[in-house]
DNA sequence: TGAAACCGTACCATAAGAGTGCTATATATG
DNA sequence: CATATATAGCACTCTTATGGTACGGTTTCA
């Protein structure tokens, strides 16, 4: 439906919270879940996934928890989506091979008249997602200049 | 999974085909389905939906079919997604009320730290989708300058 | 009259998403 | 050492959306 999944949403919330902690401070999954009223078990899964790719660092045991392992400025929406939802695919036939290149896998529509344009649109969408960094998300608001909504 | 649905894909294909026909010419659902190897019944449904919102015009009876009812330049990806998949929602809590404005419906996360930024990102995504018109899709390629994929 | 084509709607099957549970392991604390 | 806390890993269910199909009806051309 062209929407981020809840997992990605939860990841954004959790990581933005972690980003705001003092350097080295920990927050447990339960703590974050309580704070934002999200299902604890699910948030645990998300944090585990984020830890497995190195975006956050985990400390086990009592008084353990999670902390940021990377600079929020270096994590984009595209990165998170890639980890939690799989590669961005504007259309089914557009598969991203590297981080930048796309490959056409139109098996059904041999004469597909929109393949090339979709690839271009896909690139633009990817660029857009890559331009939104967690750093921006963490900050309250960039500039009231163009604030319309 | 942050992807367009197949329905939207089929709509793009069908409408791009219709856009290339001579002014006033008709193409039947079956004809288009055969041409691009997509399921006939499904394409019928899609075209019916497109007709119901006035993007294409239907002519009933034998020798009937569909033709474009609007200028392809005036139909954007955002429009098609809106018709076939419902409103674009980058996150669940971001609901678009008008064509431009968004409304926050965060029921779960009262303290959501990413609501505002997501609204901004949603706007940007919407703008992006609105910037991709069917007219561009129909054209083969804009300029070989930046063609990389 | 019959075939072709759209119309409307309802239906089903599969896959993806959302969420839960359980067991194991690591660590701080008493 | 025992216990509580917390992550790790896995597997499972439930719900929803998507993809696809079917049927009866209406319109039009031949």
Tens digit of pLDDT for each residue in A76-121? 999 999 999 988 888 877 777 665 677 777 766 667 888 888 888 8
Q: Which two three-digit tokens encode residue A101? A: 């290149």
Alpha-helical regions (H) of chain B = 6-20, 29-36, 40-52, 77-85, 115-131, 134-138
Find the closest chain B residue to A36 by CA distance. Answer: B109
Given this model, what pLDDT does residue A138 score? Answer: 83
What does the block give as tokens for A120?
A: 């271009």
Closest by CA to A65, choosing from A120, A107, A21, is A21
Provide residues 20-79 of B with CB closer than 7 Å to any strand C atom.
28-31, 44-45, 47-48, 51-52, 58-66
Higher pLDDT pick, B105 / B20 = B20
- Give the C-alpha distances (Å, rounded to integers) separating A37 from A18, A58, B108: 16, 21, 6
Interchain CB distance below 8 Å, A3 and B88? yes
Mean pLDDT value across chain A = 87
pLDDT attached to residue B111 = 73
CA–CA distances in Å: residue B148 to residues A116, B65, B144: 11, 38, 9
Q: Which segments of A2-146 are extended strands (E)?
A: 56-59, 65-68, 94-96, 102-104
Say whether the CB atom of B3 is under 7 angstroms from strand C. no
B97 burial via Cβ count (<10 Å: 0-12, 13-18, 19+): exposed
Nearest to B4 by CA among A1, A48, A17: A1
Q: Is B34 at the interface with chain A, CB within 8 A?
A: no
Closest nucleotide (C1' vs CA) to B52 is: C7
To which residue do tokens 């064509």 refer?
B99
pLDDT digits (tens, 9 = 90+) for B89-99: 888 777 776 65
pLDDT band at A142 (very low <50, low <70, confident <90, very high): low
Q: Which of residues 57-86 of A touch strand C (CB under 7 A)?
A: 59-64, 85
Report the mean per-residue pLDDT for chain B. 87
What distance in Å separates the CA atoms of residue B141 and residue B16, rounded to the nearest whole number? 14
Q: Which of B21-30, B67-76, B115-124, B126-135 has the lowest mean pLDDT?
A: B115-124
Q: How far apart are CA B149 and CA B146, in angstroms?
A: 9
């Amino acid at each position: 439906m062209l929407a981020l999944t809840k997992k990605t949403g939860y990841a954004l919330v959790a990581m933005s919270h972690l980003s705001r902690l003092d350097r080295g401070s920990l927050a447990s999954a339960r703590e974050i879940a309580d704070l934002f009223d999200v299902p604890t078990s699910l948030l645990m899964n998300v944090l585990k996934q984020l830890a497995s790719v190195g975006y956050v660092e985990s400390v086990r045991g009592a008084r353990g928890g999670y902390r940021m392992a990377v600079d929020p400025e270096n994590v984009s929406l595209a990165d998170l989506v890639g980890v939690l939802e799989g590669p961005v695919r504007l259309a089914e036939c557009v598969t991203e091979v590297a981080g930048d290149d796309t490959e056409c896998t139109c098996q059904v529509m041999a004469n597909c008249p929109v393949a090339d344009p979709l690839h271009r649109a896909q690139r633009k969408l990817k660029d857009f997602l890559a331009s939104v960094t967690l750093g921006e998300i963490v900050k309250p608001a960039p500039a009231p200049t163009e604030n319309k909504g």
